[in-house]
Amino acid sequence: MNYLFIVFFSIAQKMSGFDVTKTFNRFTQRAGELVNKNEKTSYPTRTSDLIHEIDQMKAWISKIITATEEFVDINIASKVADAFQKNKEKITTTDKLGTALEQVASQSEKAAPQLSKMLTEASDVHQRMATARKNFNSEVNTTFIEDLKNFLNTTLSEAQKAKTKLEEVRLDLDSDKTKLKNAKTAEQKAKWEAEVRKDESDFDRVHQESLTIFEKTCKEFDGLSVQLLDLIRAEKNYYEACAKECSMMLGE
């Protein structure tokens, strides 16, 4: 079993550049940290704070996206329907109400002519509001939801990769520090001192690169306030259009 394990990872290393030794050392170092056996280099406070904020962003953004998609009638069922009916216009609840009003207006014309007339007018109003609703849904999807998804898939994804890379070089540094601490001979000590110096240089470089990415991510996250204003503006325009249609029917 152990032999097959070694062979498998040797092949993986040759095929994909997978470094078995580093991976094992990182795993061992992390395991030692979990039981407080190995020392762990702490990140500066600012770096730790940024990582904490970035770790929460996916949940925050996903929550807003899910609620907004539901608000503009985007759900699993509608996504499946879109895949099969790309050219078919979406039917909103306003469309359905308008259709119901129109049908009853036609059927009740003799029994209630006044109501039938008003039902026809109300149906027209709802058909126009349905058009406004579709425009609103489309605008929100384009100017708000898609921008949030783009942030998740690009900026935040880049930050998560930077976080992973930083953690890897940190583990490499601490792993070699542990080996230096446990060195038995002068030769071993000299070897691991050189490795630690190299690791420290790599860590400092990657830390600065990661910090720049973290700062950029937090700045862009804060900048999503622009997209939020787009959402509010779209809502304002939609509800004003609906209010105008209702006022016209009421003769106001």
**Domains in the chain with CATH codes:** 29-72+140-250 (1.20.1270)
Instruction: Please say whether the dihedral angle defined by the alpha carbons of residues 82, 84, 85 and 90, taken in this order, is positive or negative.
Output: negative
- 208, 211, 215, 218: CA torsion to nearest 10: 160
Q: Which of 236, 244, 240 is nearest to 125 (CA)?
A: 244
Assess contact for 207 and 166: CB atoms under 8 A. yes
Digit-by-digit pLDDT tens for the chain (252 residues) are: 455 445 545 555 555 555 788 888 887 877 777 777 777 889 999 999 999 999 999 999 999 999 999 999 876 545 544 544 554 567 888 999 999 999 999 999 999 999 999 999 999 999 999 999 999 999 999 999 999 999 999 999 999 999 999 999 999 998 889 889 888 999 999 999 999 999 999 999 999 999 999 999 999 999 999 999 999 999 999 999 999 999 999 998
